[in-house]
Amino acid sequence: MTRAEGQKMKIAVLALQGAFLEHEQMLCRLGADTFEIRKAEDWEKPKDGLIIPGGESTTQAKLLRELGLMEPVREAIIGGLPVWGTCAGLILLADHVVNGVPSGSLGTMSIDVCRNAYGRQSGSFFTTGTIEGIGDGIPMTFIRAPYISRVRGNARILAECGGHIVAAIQDHQFVTSFHPELNDDPRVHAYFLRLARRH
């Protein structure tokens, strides 16, 4: 679906668990409309994109299955719905997860992901970095973060940090292993809105 310039974007935010509110606040700041996906009926509403937030991928996968949302969400993404997965959301979108596979998750993106990859102690940290197509000095908050060990097929690396891939894109699917919604810089959300507008 293409939105005319100036028309408000409507972004669905998966709100089963984790840091979804912060995404809504950032999108609101950028002038987009959001609504929460909490049950199967919510999914019926028209939308220009979907955000799958950080949190706990095993919990989110379990709730998606229990609520009957796993298949409709997967089908919509395969059908071209723009999606952004942050952290746990990235894990759900990956088609291959090393250590701790949340069995039967969305798996729509051709990336290999290492879960809880930085270990317990060093799992949470802050840095700034460059994301291709977005800019330099982007705040990057990592919380028990995964990283991408390999991209395949159409997937492309957008950012690396300490030798690990931390952001990637595959057509209309975008993932970050850090949490841009927890910092004050709206550039990554603005990038996702542009991506959603293009598709």
- Positions annotated as catalytic residues are 87, 179, 181
Q: H helices of the chain, where?
A: 21-29, 57-66, 70-78, 88-93, 187-198
Residue 14 binding ligand GLN, by CB under 6 A: no
CA-based end-to-end distance of the chain = 6
Residue 183 binding ligand GLN, by CB under 6 A: no
Is the Cβ of residue 107 or residue 199 nearer to ligand GLN in the bound state? 107
Stretch 25-84 residues interacting with ligand GLN (CB under 6 A): 54-57
Could you tell me the smallest distance in angstroms from the CB atom of residue 39 to ligand GLN? 21
Could you tell me the smallest distance in angstroms from the CB atom of residue 31 to ligand GLN? 26
Is the Cβ of residue 9 or residue 161 nearer to ligand GLN in the bound state? 161
Q: ∠3-36-68 over CA atoms, to 5°?
A: 105
Is the Cβ of residue 110 or residue 116 nearer to ligand GLN in the bound state? 116
Interface size with ligand GLN, residues (CB under 6 A): 11
Instruction: Choose, by CB under 6 A, the member of 115, 172, 189, 197 that binds ligand GLN.
Output: 115
Residue 116 binding ligand GLN, by CB under 6 A: yes
Burial class of residue 160 in the structure, from the number of CB atoms within 10 Å of its CB (0-12 exposed, 13-18 middle, 19+ buried):
middle
Provide the greatest CA pair distance for the chain: 47
Is the Cβ of residue 3 or residue 164 nearer to ligand GLN in the bound state? 164
Pick from 182, 197, 192, 177: which is nearest to 21 by CA? 182
Could you tell me the smallest distance in angstroms from the CB atom of residue 65 to ligand GLN? 15
Instruction: Report d(CA 188, CA 173) in Å as an integer.
Output: 14
- Cβ atoms of 175 and 90 within 8 Å: the answer is yes
Residue ranges binding ligand GLN (CB under 6 A):
54-57, 87-88, 91, 115-116, 143-144
